[in-house]
Amino acid sequence: LVDALRPCDFDADGASDLPVGSPGESLGSIADAGSVTILPGVDGLGRVTGDGSTAINQATAGVPGAPEAGDGFGTTVACGDFNGDNHADLAVGAPREELGAIVDAGVVQVFNGSAQGVTTAGSVVLSQSTPGVAGSPETDDQFGSALGTGDVNGDGYDDLIVGVESEDLGSRV
């Protein structure tokens, strides 16, 4: 799902672009690896087109990691200007990504917007094993199962809000 209140103008041309997650997309023989297609906006009226669309997945050059069956890359997508450069950035949830031997721990990958649109250069992978991220990865946590954006701390930059669908809370499982 995309937060409809946040425009995704990745190339800052004044037209909102539309990222569409396809978590069940197979990449060759890799079932349900997932992908995100970005449909470019054609004017400031919210119209998008398939012309010039791009796809990003874990087999795309510059994307960290590798596609695996069932990752669900693109289960969730969100956009916001996380770095303050006036280009929307793209966050993509892969809640069934494995972290080493931890099955379905989940990750979120963040891609920068640029004058050319979304770029894989400088992309970042976040998980509960990332320093500063609360919690620790556990089997079936599904980090990235929900995403949202907003200026949570009032610093003028969009912040990324990450849901962890099956996080254990104390003794509650």
131 Cβ neighbours under 8 A, 6+ residues apart: none
The percentage of the chain sitting over the pLDDT mark of 70, rounded to a whole number, equals 89
Q: What confidence tens digit (pLDDT) does each residue in 63-116 have? A: 999 999 999 999 999 999 999 999 999 999 999 999 999 999 999 999 999 999
| pLDDT tens-place string over residues 130-167 | 999 999 999 999 999 999 998 999 998 899 999 999 88
Model pTM above 0.75: yes
Give whole-number Cα distances, 69 to 24, 28, 43, 106, 144, in Å. 10, 10, 37, 13, 17
Summarize pLDDT for 82-92 with one digit per residue, the tens: 999 999 999 99
Structure tokens at 7: 């425009």
33 pLDDT above the threshold of 90? yes
Q: What is the pLDDT of residue 14?
A: 87
